[in-house]
């Protein structure tokens, strides 16, 4: 089988540390041929570092010549996901796009629709799906061990983790704050647990008190003036089948833990906690607490990239699909709308 040709769009840390190593580890299935970045030198340097043949500062140029790929990985700022994805699909490439899918639900919808029309895969790098904990809970749910799941608490919280670098607090580039950057990861897991239904009722609140006050935290010093996004978001989602999600995301919150990324899943037969993986159920008529101390860590980026390749090849895959991305982005939109 001939190798899939891949291009990387966006030459930052995520490309260098996550996507390129994963693709290189899968060299029996894929080969990176081009890297495209706003700054030609950066693209060139990254390409050299990873033995990639072509480097561009203009994607159109890339699609026009020898460097044309079969698939692209989009690792740019959030607001560029949409234009680069649309362009890639127009050029008949599969698209593996960083999260969040886009800036608005409309964009994410269009991306899914165009992929459908072109018969290409568009998928998103929501890699927490690949943790052994989430896989296990999903398997438990499928095997019926949890019964029907009716409520989920989903948290992606940092105590004082407003990044002191990058564009994380710039609304026009990022599209939002803690929800857009962190919340989508855990929201994706929660929605997946409920078969990616679209909620019919949402109430949400967002805040920016700590962000707007400026200060120094566990991820550096941030600027009060340029802080334009929410530092915390709390929402309740209710679904047509009466299941519900209570979602909390924060860059900064006066809480105990430095970081709390978790999922509590409540089902009719049992409950599950994501980290540390636990089940709370009944065994032999007694209330039982189950721990899994020997669960092995896994390389979740490698697993997610593999899942994307599987999807491209028409194999079964648990990748976040274009349709799911559109729903996820629609939920995000509605949360922001509710929060005003």
Q: Contact positions toward its own copies, by CB under 8 A?
A: 132, 136, 139-140, 143, 145-148, 150-151, 159-160, 201-205, 207, 209-210, 213, 216-218, 232, 234-236, 238, 242-244, 246, 248, 253-256, 258, 264, 266-271, 273, 278-281, 283-295, 338, 340
Q: Which is closer to its own copies, CB of 3 or CB of 218? A: 218
Q: Which is closer to its own copies, CB of 228 or CB of 260? A: 260
Q: Are strands 54-56 and 71-74 parallel, antiparallel or unpaired?
A: unpaired
Q: Are strands 94-97 and 71-74 parallel, antiparallel or unpaired?
A: parallel
Q: In angstroms, how far is the first alpha carbon of the chain from the final one?
A: 52
**Residue 41 tokens, joined:** 């030198």
* Residue 75 · residue 37 · CB < 8 Å: no
Q: How far is the CB of 60 from its own copies (least distance, A)?
A: 43
Residues present in the chain in total? 340
Q: Is 50 exposed, middle or buried (0-12, 13-18, 19+ CB in 10 A)?
A: middle
* Block residue for tokens 């941030």: 222
Secondary structure (H, E, C), 98-116: CCCCCCCHHHHHHHHHHHH
Q: How far is the CB of 99 from its own copies (least distance, A)?
A: 24
Q: Which is closer to its own copies, CB of 98 or CB of 333? A: 333
Q: Which is closer to its own copies, CB of 48 or CB of 337? A: 337
Q: Which is closer to its own copies, CB of 5 or CB of 159? A: 159
Q: Which is closer to its own copies, CB of 23 or CB of 232? A: 232
Q: How far is the CB of 106 from its own copies (least distance, A)?
A: 24
Q: In what order do the strands lie in the sheet with 4-9?
A: 54-56, 30-36, 4-9, 71-74, 94-97, 122-124, 320-321
């Amino acid at each position: 089988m001939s190798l899939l040709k891949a291009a990387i769009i966006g030459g930052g840390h995520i490309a260098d540390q996550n996507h390129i190593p994963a693709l290189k580890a899968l060299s029996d299935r894929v080969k990176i041929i081009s890297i495209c970045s706003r700054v030609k030198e950066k693209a060139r340097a990254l390409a050299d570092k990873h033995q990639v043949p072509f480097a561009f500062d203009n994607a159109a140029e890339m699609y026009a010549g020898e460097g044309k790929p079969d698939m692209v990985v989009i690792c740019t700022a959030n607001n560029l996901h949409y234009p680069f994805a649309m362009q890639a699909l127009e050029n008949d490439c599969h698209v593996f796009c960083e999260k969040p899918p886009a800036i608005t639900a409309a964009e994410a919808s269009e991306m899914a629709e165009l992929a459908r029309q072109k018969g290409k895969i568009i998928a998103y790098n929501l890699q927490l799906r690949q943790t052994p904990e989430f896989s296990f809970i999903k398997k438990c749910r499928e095997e019926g061990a949890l019964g029907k799941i009716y409520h989920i608490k989903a948290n992606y919280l940092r105590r004082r983790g407003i990044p002191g670098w990058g564009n994380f607090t710039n609304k026009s580039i990022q599209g939002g704050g803690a929800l857009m950057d962190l919340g989508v990861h855990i929201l994706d897991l929660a929605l997946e647990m409920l078969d990616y239904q679209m909620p019919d009722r949402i109430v949400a609140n967002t805040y920016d008190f700590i962000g707007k006050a400026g200060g120094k935290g566990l991820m550096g010093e941030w600027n009060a003036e340029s802080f334009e996004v929410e530092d915390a978001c709390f929402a309740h989602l209710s679904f047509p089948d009466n299941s519900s999600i209570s979602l909390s995301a924060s860059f900064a919150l006066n809480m105990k833990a430095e970081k709390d990324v978790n999922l509590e899943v409540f089902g009719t037969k049992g409950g599950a906690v994501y980290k540390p993986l636990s089940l709370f159920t009944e065994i032999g008529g007694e209330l039982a607490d189950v721990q899994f101390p020997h669960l092995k860590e896994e390389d979740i980026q490698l697993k997610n990239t593999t899942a994307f390749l599987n999807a491209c090849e028409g194999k079964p895959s648990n990748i976040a699909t274009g349709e799911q991305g559109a729903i996820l982005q629609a939920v995000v939109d509605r949360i922001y709308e509710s929060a005003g």
